[in-house]
Structure 1
């Protein structure tokens, strides 16, 4: 019968690896907890300052808040329009597109489906394309683009 000898050098090296891994994990946990504590303190201070400012100036927020919201909405709309026009490489800027039923000025409106030029002679609600009856037309002058 063969006896199995334990290799003591492997056992020592394995326990050293386990101990090193344990130390590394403890260090990583401590580092994470310290970072979380710093971030928590930062946001607590930042939000505390913001809350204090709002408490002190709540009448300004209430008086001017609606105007600021409307102004911000306009800026967001303009930014979104710019993004859609440029990121998608639209052939026609969206602000020059018109949907059937929209009040339009006299001019030429090109169908976005078949390309037919529909002529509007007076200010009126826009009708669908005379040829294909598509409901999206453009006042964009392709020759200028």
Structure 2
């Protein structure tokens, strides 16, 4: 008879545990669904506001986006030049390099292959090196490189 009493108390404890687990899971499910409903409502409100603002100001967005895209392109170009100049330890900064065919101001253009100074007397398209016909020139000061 003692064994019957033990079994009935164990089954009662187990049924209580199952019932508590069921209540906990139901509460967690309800809490989760409420949170999802709140997040959904917030998202719809936020997106609705954003869409309404864009609809009302679309011309402003279009006007500003062109300027912003150009500004971002310019910043990306500057960042890329900085990265290339510093990551590769370039002896001549790329912004001081000139490729044959680009229009350049009058001045002395140092050949990056043979070192000859090609003199340009008027604003014109840069010609290949007079000595070796290489196509990359620099306006970088060689003395600054030697001093470093």
Q: Aligned-pair RMSD on alpha carbons?
A: 2.6
Instruction: Give a deviation string over 1:46-99, Cα, whole Å, max 9, x none.
Output: xx9578535523523223111111111111111111111111111111111111
Q: Which runs of 5+ in 1 are unaligned?
A: 1-40
**Equivalent residue, structure 1, for 2:50:** 53
TM-score (norm 1): 0.61
Structure 1 stretches (4+) deviating beyond 6 angstroms? none
**Equivalent residue, structure 1, for 2:72:** 72
Aligned partner of residue 119 in structure 2, secondary structure: strand
Count of residues in Structure 1 that have an aligned counterpart in Structure 2: 103
**Equivalent residue, structure 1, for 2:119:** 119
TM-score (norm 2): 0.60
**Equivalent residue, structure 2, for 1:6:** none
Q: CA deviation at 1:101?
A: 1.3
**Max Rg structure:** 2
Aligned partner of residue 74 in structure 1, secondary structure: helix
Q: Which runs of 5+ in 2 are unaligned?
A: 1-38
**Equivalent residue, structure 2, for 1:108:** 108
Structure 1 Cα separation of the partners of residues 48 and 117 of structure 2: 57
**Equivalent residue, structure 2, for 1:141:** 141
Alpha carbons of structure 1 residues 140 and 54: separation in structure 2 relative to 1, 3 Å: farther
